[in-house]
Amino acid sequence: MIDSHHHFWKYSTEQFGWISEEMTALKRDFLVSELEHDLDMAGVDHVVSIQARCSDQENRFLLDQAKKSDGLVAAIVGWAPLTSDTLRVFLDQYIHDSLFKGVREIIQGTPDEQFLDNADFDHGIRELTHRGLSFDLLVNHHQLPAAIAFADKHPNQPMVLNHGGKPPVCQQGLTHPDTQTWARNIRELARRPHIYCKLSGLTTEIQDHESRYDNNLLLPYADTLVNAFQPERIMFGSDWPVALLNTTYPAWLNTVDNFIHSLSRDEQSAIRHNTATHFYKL
């Protein structure tokens, strides 16, 4: 199995200001040794490390952790100044590093004109395409229409939607108007064959605090994603350690197993490892 989405960090309040007082479980270091501990007996062979800070320092840190992981880390998805005229020089630093497979920008919560509807950002994406690098697309569910228009501008750029487009998970499930809008936008986005999706991060999207450990709520959302993208464009991800706010690594693995148990062996293999292997060129 390949975990297509996890993070490393050395915690500090200055570097990780987004970790609020309610997230005390995340206010510590999460490095290779901590990951290996949580992966014990999980059957995960390799992981893809995703940036959590927007800096070159983050890239160096992730590459350092990867080189300490004895092959566990198969790839990193770093950060790059995609709107900067120094982008080419910046990316040239990593041109010979086989672990550097792609770039992510934290778009969630930003105005469209900052990234999704920005000519300079489009230029940066075209540079990724030219170099054969992937792009991790992190948006909130209300940004999906802008993400669809963005995807249409870059039909040759492989992109993977993080955390299923962050649906508003609630007790009403697919009967809630906001969820229906999310599902409609997901189906529309999935019509573009260059867009993939991570089955990750859903537990932290549960809106009701009292229901945050009820993974049964997530089934209709997972079904929507798998039916829209199909297994060959769906990849498993843990979102460790952020997911520890509402679940454990074994519990999330078990939840995903329940999501996909009715699929064929080949379809399960796609979600477990083949899709990530193809997308990130592992």
What would the pLDDT profile of 56-92 be if each residue is shown by its tens digit?
999 999 999 999 999 999 999 999 999 999 999 999 9
Least confidently predicted of 1-5, 199-203, 247-251, 273-277: 247-251
Q: Which residues contact 179 (CB under 8 A, 6 or more apart)?
A: 167, 168, 169, 170, 172, 173, 221
Q: In the chain, what are the domains?
A: 2-279 (3.20.20.140)
What is the pLDDT at residue 80? 98
Rounded CA-CA distance 209/133 in Å is 38
Q: How many CB atoms lie within 10 A of CB 9?
A: 20
Give the per-residue pLDDT at 40.
Answer: 79
Q: How confident is the model at residue 7 (pLDDT cuts 50, 70, 90)?
A: very high
pLDDT at 216: 83
Residue 198 · residue 237 · CB < 8 Å: yes
Output the pTM of the full model.
Answer: 0.96
Residue 130: count other Cβ atoms within 10 Å of its Cβ. Answer: 12
For 128-183, write each residue's pLDDT tens digit.
Answer: 999 999 999 999 999 999 999 999 999 999 999 999 999 999 999 899 999 999 99
Q: Which residue has the tokens 């991800």?
A: 237
